[in-house]
Amino acid sequence: MAVIGGGVTGLGVARDLAQRGVTVALFEKGDLASGTSGRSHGLLHSGARYAVKDPVSASECAQENRILKKIASHVIEDTGGMFVAVEESDLEYERVFLDGCKKSGVRVEELSIKESLSREPYLNPNVVATYLVDDAAIDPFRLALANFLDAKSNNAQIFTYTPVRLLVEQGEVTGVRLIKSGENVHADIVVNATGAWAGEVCRQAGIKLEVKPNKGTLVVVSKRIVNTVLNRLRPPSDGDILVPHQTTMILGTTSTYVRTPDNLLPTRKEIKLIVMEEEKLVPLVRRLRVIRAFSGARPLLEGGSGREAARTFLVIDHDESGVKGLITVTGGKLTTYRLMAEKTADLVCAKLGVRAPCSTDKEELPEVPVKSTLERYEALEGELRDGKEVVCECEMVTRSEVEKAFNVLAARTLGDVKRRTRMGMGECQAQMCAYRVADLMAESFGFGADEALNMLSDFLREQWKISRVLEGSQKAQTEFFKTMYRLAGSLDG
C-alpha cells in the first residue's frame, strides 16, 4: 500500500490502514502538513457555516467535530464559536441559518448580546445578534503529527521530502516512482491523497479529474484579544472568520481560483480586504499588527464558483473508469479528514480483503511530545524561567523541544522545526531564533557548517517572501533583520 500526500488526509489514511494491520508507505514531497493542511484556518467546524448552502458537509462536520474533540482533544483548543450579526442586513440570513442548522443537526444556541460582550469584551459593541456554536481551534500541524506518530507506531513508513510520480504499467498503477532517486516502489494500491494536487497526480495515469485549486488567504495578527472563534452571520464571504490560535489570531479568508496550487502568495489587496471586513467583528483588529499572511489552495471539486462549490469530499475508485490500482481522495476539509480517511481505508480494505474494522473514531490520537505554546505558558518552571534553554523567546520553545522535533518528529529543516514547535511563529517571526536553531543543528544534529547556513538562507528566504506586502512595524522589523542577516551576517540569498 502506498499513500501519496502527507497532509492530514494522507496521514489519516496511513494511520487508519496501519491500525488495521495493512503495510503502508507514505510519500510527501515536502514536509508533513506543508500543503493545504498547514495553510488552513485551523477551525474545527461545527458545521454551522455550511448549514445553508451545503447541508451534507454541515452534518459531516457536526459529527466529526464531536469525534475529534474526543480523540484529539490535545491538539484542539475548545474555544467555542459565535455567529455574529453585525448589521441589520445580516439578520435576513438569520432565519435560513437557524433552519439549516436544525436540519443538518448542528447545535446552535442563542446568546444575549450582553453575555457575548462580557465573554468577548473586544467584540464590536454594535452587534445585533449572536449565536453560540461548537466551533473550536485545531492545530493542523499537531493534528498531522499525532496521526504521523500513530501511523508510525503501527509500523507505517513515512517519507518526507520525497516527491513521487505514479508508476503506470500497461494502463495500470503499480506503485510510485521516487522522483529524486529514480527508485520504484511497488504497491498493490496507491492512494492519491494530494488534495489540490490530486488532478495533477491523476493526469500521470491519464485520468481527468476536475480538482480546481482555489486560493484562500489568511492573515495572522500579533495579539490574541478574542478567545472564541468568531463568524459573521451572513452567507459565507470574504474575511468573515476569526480564529484565536495560541498567542495569535488568524483572520480570513478569501477565495479565488488559481491555476496551480504551488507558490501561492498573499497580496496586499487581500490583506486589506480581510482586515477591513474583520474590523466589523472586532474593531480593534485594525490597530493590531499583521505579522504574517499566507495562502493555501482548497481542493474544490466540480464546477460552481468558489464558496458555492461543494465542500464534501470524494473517494474515487479509478478501477471503475478502467485504471486499476489507484484510489483518489480529495476535497473535504480539515475537520472531516478522519471521515475521508475512514471511507478511503474502507475501500482499500475491501479491495485487499482485509476485514479489520475502522477504529480511528474511538482510539485517541497519541500525545505530541512537543508542547503547544499555551501549554508551555502553563508549564513553565525552573530552567525555563531564566531563559537559559529557550531558543525562541516569543513562543518559548526550548532546546529540548527542538531536539525532539528532530529526533522523534522527523524534522529535517528549519521550516520543519517551525511547523513542529511554533518556533518563529510569534511576534519576531523567527528572526532571532532562526540562527540559534541553525547553530543548534550544527551542534547536535550532524549538519555541517555550510549545510546549516544554507538551511538558514533557505528558511529566511521563505520567511521574507511576504515582506513585500507587510506594513508599519512589521515592515521595519523585517528590514532590520534582513540587514542583520545580510549585512552584519553577510548571509547571501
Ligand X SMILES: Cc1cc2nc3c(=O)[nH]c(=O)nc-3n(C[C@H](O)[C@H](O)[C@H](O)COP(=O)(O)OP(=O)(O)OC[C@H]3O[C@@H](n4cnc5c(N)ncnc54)[C@H](O)[C@@H]3O)c2cc1C
Site string for another protein, 308-347 (x = CB under 8 A): ----------------------------------------
Contact 223, 394 (CB under 8 A): no
Give the whole-angstrom CA distance, residue 390 versus residue 407.
18
Question: b/e per residue, 422-456, with b = 16+ CB within 10 A?
Answer: bbbbbbbbbbbbbbbbbebbbeeeebeeeebbbbb
Residue given cell 466551533 in the structure block: 135
> 179 or 449, CB closer to another protein?
449
> 330 or 398, CB closer to another protein?
398
What length does the chain have? 493
Using rule CB under 6 A, residue 333 touches ligand X:
yes
Q: CB under 5 to 8 A by kind: which of another protein, ligand X, none does 164 bind?
A: ligand X
Please, which of residues 251-310 interact with another protein by CB under 8 A?
Answer: 284, 287-289
> 209 or 297, CB closer to ligand X?
297
DSSP class per residue in 311-354:
-SEEEEEGGGGT-TTEEEEEE--STTHHHHHHHHHHHHHHHHT-
Give the whole-angstrom CA distance, residue 168 versus residue 482.
46
Give me the least distance between CB of 80 and ligand X, in Å please.
Answer: 15
Contact range with ligand X by CB under 6 A, out of 91-99, 192-200, 223-231, 460-468: 192-200
Using rule CB under 6 A, residue 415 touches ligand X:
no
Task: Read off φ and ψ for residue 5, nearest 5 degrees.
Answer: 110, 120
Q: Which of 9, 19, 222, 231 binds another protein (CB under 8 A)?
A: 222
> 36 or 248, CB closer to ligand X?
36
Helix (H) or strand (E) holding 31: none
Q: Which of 27, 131, 141, 435 binds ligand X (CB under 6 A)?
A: 27
Give the whole-angstrom CA distance, residue 432 versus residue 471.
20
- Helix crossing, 8-19 with 140-153: angle to 10°? 30
Q: Which of 1, 26, 35, 442 binds ligand X (CB under 6 A)?
A: 35
Contact 470, 290 (CB under 8 A): yes
> 208 or 385, CB closer to another protein?
385
Size of the site for ligand X (CB under 6 A): 46
Q: Locate 287 and state its grid cell.
A: 490597530
Contact range with another protein by CB under 8 A, out of 61-69, 190-198, 219-227, 345-353: 219-227
Residue 381, burial from CB neighbour count under 10 angstroms (0-12, 13-18, 19+): exposed
CA distances from 21 to 67, 154, 358, 456 (A): 22, 8, 11, 40
Using rule CB under 8 A, residue 223 touches another protein:
yes
Q: Which of 47, 80, 216, 424 binds ligand X (CB under 6 A)?
A: 216
Contact range with ligand X by CB under 6 A, out of 4-12, 16-24, 357-365, 402-410: 4-12
Using rule CB under 6 A, residue 68 touches ligand X:
no
Task: Read off φ and ψ for residue 94, nearest 5 degrees.
Answer: -55, -50
Give the whole-angstrom CA distance, residue 107 versus residue 227.
20
CA distances from 488 to 140, 302, 457, 484, 491 (A): 36, 52, 14, 5, 8
Contact range with ligand X by CB under 6 A, out of 75-83, 332-340, 396-404, 462-470: 332-340
Using rule CB under 8 A, residue 146 touches another protein:
no
Residues that bind ligand X (CB under 6 A): 4-10, 27-30, 34-37, 39-43, 45, 163-164, 193-197, 201, 216, 218, 252-253, 296-299, 332-335, 480, 483-484, 487-488
Residues that bind another protein (CB under 8 A): 122, 222-225, 227, 247-248, 284, 287-289, 374, 377-378, 380, 385-388, 393-394, 426-428, 431-432, 435-436, 438-440, 442-443, 448-450, 452-453, 456, 471-473, 475-477, 479-491
